[in-house]
Chains A and B, each alone.
Chain A
Amino acid sequence: MVGLLAAVKPIATPEVVWSALAPQLVMMVGGVLLLTIVSLVKGRLGRGAYAGYTVVVALVSLASVVPLWRRLQDSKGGPASLVGGAVGFDGYSLFLIATMAVGVALAALLADGYLRREGLEGPELYVLMMLSAAGGGIMASANDLIVLFIGLEILSISAYVMAAMHANRVSSQEAGLKYFILGAFASAFLLYGIALLYGATGSTNLAKIQAFLSDVVLVHNGMLLGGVALLLVGLGFKVAAAPFHTWTPDVYQGAPSPVTAFMASVVKAAGFAGLVRVVVVTFDTYRLQWKPAVFALAALSLLVGSLSAIVQTNVKRMLAYSSINHAGFILVGVQSGRVGTAAVLFYLAAYTFMVVGSFGVVTIVGGTGDGRHHLDDYKGLARTRPLIAAAFGVFLLAQAGVPFTAGFLAKLGVIQAAGQTHNWTLAVIAMASAVISAFFYLRIVVSMYFDDPAGDPEVEVEGSPLVPLGARIALVIAVIGTLGLGIVPGPFTHLADDAVPVITAAGR
């Protein structure tokens, strides 16, 4: 027996630099820990404790990014690859992980009041949020297509359950099932794309694929292009880009509102993380081939998103179409290639604040049962709830791209990137769709400020305020973020500029 063991050579395991993985690990361990604690001390923790814990975990994850960012910008540091070349470590992934951590904290603050109002216990919602964000972090730092796939699945499987969270509302479960079937369908396409790329290049490692593509000129590149196309389909689904957007309005409308906020911010950011990392950076040498495809996705999303939003009378559904429109704007940045990555990052950070704020207001106005989402329910909101109306006004104007808000600079950034690559057609389409979408954002604002309130406003019940504390904090932070990024964008644009995506081979 001893002789047998001695004969077995020790397996060479890759060195793991745990500290560099801290932001993702904090989220993942935080989620699992909460699940363990909650199942041990059933019901003895207050509901507020769950939300508070989640916010703390998200903030720790955010804080752990700071020293890593410093190390990265240091002359001795720089981008590296970890865990045997499977995970990348660069400014780009850190920036997106920080963005997602902010999204988790804000969504958790919204979820607290929602769960109390709906009478749900819901520690699992927070667990799933943290796990999902950990998956997003893995996606953002993936250096291998299989790691990307696993990150995507951790992200999405948690999101499917979150969408179906409200066990007593049929629409929530319907949203969950639709999201699940279409999401799994998209994952299968993505995976088939990965398999084809593996066949064409001989590796799933992004650094190896990049090296292969710069060394070898493929005569028959059909399989490679097919693989990239399938990857675009799979990731297009996740970021809700037209024509793969059909699930978005249904799922965004049916899912519990705080979960919608989470999906629109974190899931979208993670999807774009994967898109930029794989398509823009790894297949840079094939940009002439993929750029027309991304062009089509961007133009369609811009037009479908803005035109379909106009005819909606349900505000939640309208915001879902508006998120398709925003996906189109971000794709304009993606289409610009490496020039546009900073604009994409800034847009994602700005969008996180705007969209979590918007769905936060929707959560509050939706009332018990989460059903008051018709445009009529917003009539005269400025008179019945002036502060909520003012906050919603800020978020909507920011999404419309009014100057001195984050939305303006975000849109300006991606359109500038399109201009730098002389892509005037796309820039013009983007500007036209910004004008169209201003219409439906302003329609809500007008209805809030100039119409008379319809029906009775929901009455304040003793012990459960209409605007719970958590939601208040979240909305204030979102307003500060939306206006702050618009008025003092300097530090953030510098951060986004420094967050360059780099793919490093193993051993460097």
Chain B
Amino acid sequence: MSQSAYLVVAAALFGLGAAGVLLRKNPLVMFMCLELMLNAVNLTFVSFSRSLNDVGGQVSVFFVLVVAAAEVVVGLGIIVAIVRRRRGASADDMSLLKG
């Protein structure tokens, strides 16, 4: 019972994150939603690790954390570069490319 509760929470968090990325317009908020998705995955890994009694899942979490940190650095770099060119950029302003 307890394990499935964790999995449900993780799935709900993942869904919230995914909905946030699709619905929000501020790139920074989209960013936070991406982080929420990754952390939902971490929660899933940890709860499986506990129920399988296997340390591999917890090791995976560290890899995910490192990758998420690297992703943040690059993403923020791109956002800063854009905001420098035009203030208050939102995802709706990113409409130069379409067709």
Contact check, A173 vs B81: say whether CB atoms are below 8 A apart.
Answer: yes
Q: Does A282 contact B (CB under 8 A)?
A: no
Q: Is the CB–CB distance between B48 and A198 below 8 Å?
A: yes
Cβ-based interface call for B99 (8 A): yes
Contacts of A153 on B, CB cut-off 8 Å? 67, 70-71
Q: How far is the CA of A450 from the CA of B1 in the complex (A)?
A: 72
Stretch touching chain B among A75-83, A174-182, A237-245, A413-421 = A174-182
A-chain residues with CB within 8 Å of residue B74 when the two chains form the complex: 157, 160-161, 180
B57: which A residues are within 8 A, CB to CB? 195, 198
Whether B82 contacts A184 by the Cβ 8 Å rule is no
A185 and B97 in contact, given A150-B63, A153-B71, A195-B44 (Cβ under 8 angstroms): no
The tally of residues in A whose CB lies under 8 Å from a CB in B reads 40
Main secondary structure of the interface of A (DSSP, over half): helix
Write out the residue numbers on chain B whose beta carbons fall within 8 Å of the beta carbon of A195: 41, 44-45, 48, 57, 60
The answer, yes or no, to whether A384 is at the interface (CB within 8 Å) is no
Q: A171 contacts B21, CB within 8 Å?
A: no
Question: Are A188's CB and B78's CB within 8 A?
Answer: no
Bound complex: CA A202 to CA B45 (Å): 11
Q: How far is the CA of A175 from the CA of B78 in the complex (A)?
A: 10
| Chain B proximity mask over A170-206: 1 for CB below 8 Å, otherwise 0 | 1101111110110011011001101110110011100
Residue A250 lies at the interface, judged by CB distance under 8 Å to chain B: yes
Q: Which residues of A contact B21 (CB under 8 A)?
A: 181, 185
Contact of B77 (CB < 8 Å), options: A161, A194, A253: A161
- Select which of B59, B96, B99 is within 8 A of A314 by beta carbon: B99
Let me know if A204 and B81 touch, CB within 8 A. no
Interface check B85, CB cutoff 8 A:
yes
Interfacial chain A residues near B81, Cβ < 8 Å: 164, 167, 173
B78 contact from A160, A192, A253, A317, Cβ within 8 A: A160
Q: Is the CB of B75 within 8 A of A191?
A: no
Q: Is the CB of A188 within 8 A of B97?
A: no
A149 touches B44 (CB 8 A): no
| A173 near B97: Cβ-Cβ < 8 Å | no
Measured between alpha carbons, how far is A170 from B14 in the docked complex, in Å?
32
Which residues of B (75-99) have their CB < 8 Å from a CB of A?
75, 77-79, 81-82, 85-86, 91, 94, 96-99
Residues 40-73 of B, flagged 1 when their CB comes within 8 A of A and 0 if not, give: 1100110010011010110110011001001100
Expressed in whole angstroms, the Cα–Cα distance for A59 and B51 within the complex equals 48
Interface residues of B in 24-38 (CB under 8 A from A): 27, 30-31, 34, 37-38
CB–CB A191/B64 < 8 A: yes
In the assembled complex, which residues on chain A have CB atoms less than 8 Å from the CB atom of B30?
Answer: 181
Question: Which positions 13-27 of chain B face chain A at CB distance < 8 Å?
Answer: 14, 17-18, 21, 27
Chain A residue with the shortest CB-CB distance to B75? A180
Q: State whether B60 touches A198 (Cβ < 8 A).
A: yes
Q: Which residues of A contact B86 (CB under 8 A)?
A: 170
Q: Is the CB of B52 within 8 A of A202?
A: yes
Find out whether the CB atom of B40 lies under 8 angstroms from the CB atom of A192.
Answer: yes
The answer to whether B60 and A177 touch across the interface, beta carbons within 8 angstroms, is: no
**In contact, B56 and A188 (Cβ under 8 angstroms):** no
**Which residue of chain B has its CB nearest to the CB of A185?**
B21
State in angstroms the CA–CA spacing of A195 and B57 once bound together.
8
Q: Which residues on B sit within 8 Å (CB–CB) of A164?
A: 78, 81
A146 interface contact, C-beta 8 A: yes
Given A146-B63, A160-B78, A170-B85, check contact A250 B54 (CB 8 Å): no
A-B residue pairs in contact (CB < 8 Å), sample of 29: A149-B64, A153-B71, A161-B78, A164-B78, A164-B81, A167-B81, A170-B86, A170-B96, A171-B96, A173-B78, A174-B82, A176-B78, A177-B27, A177-B78, A177-B79, A178-B94, A181-B34, A181-B75, A184-B34, A184-B75, A185-B21, A185-B37, A188-B14, A188-B37, A195-B45, A202-B52, A203-B54, A204-B56, A250-B98
A interface, CB within 8 angstroms of B: 146, 149-150, 153, 157, 160-161, 164, 167, 170-171, 173-178, 180-181, 184-185, 187-188, 191-192, 194-196, 198-199, 202-204, 249-250, 253-254, 312, 314, 317
Ordered nearest first, which 6 A-B pairs have the shortest CB separation? A188-B37, A199-B48, A250-B97, A195-B44, A153-B67, A191-B41
- Beyond the given A181-B30, A198-B48, could you list 19 further A-B residue pairs with CB under 8 A, ordered by the A residue number? A153-B71, A157-B71, A161-B74, A170-B86, A173-B78, A177-B82, A178-B94, A181-B27, A184-B71, A184-B75, A185-B37, A187-B71, A188-B38, A192-B41, A192-B44, A195-B48, A199-B7, A199-B44, A250-B97
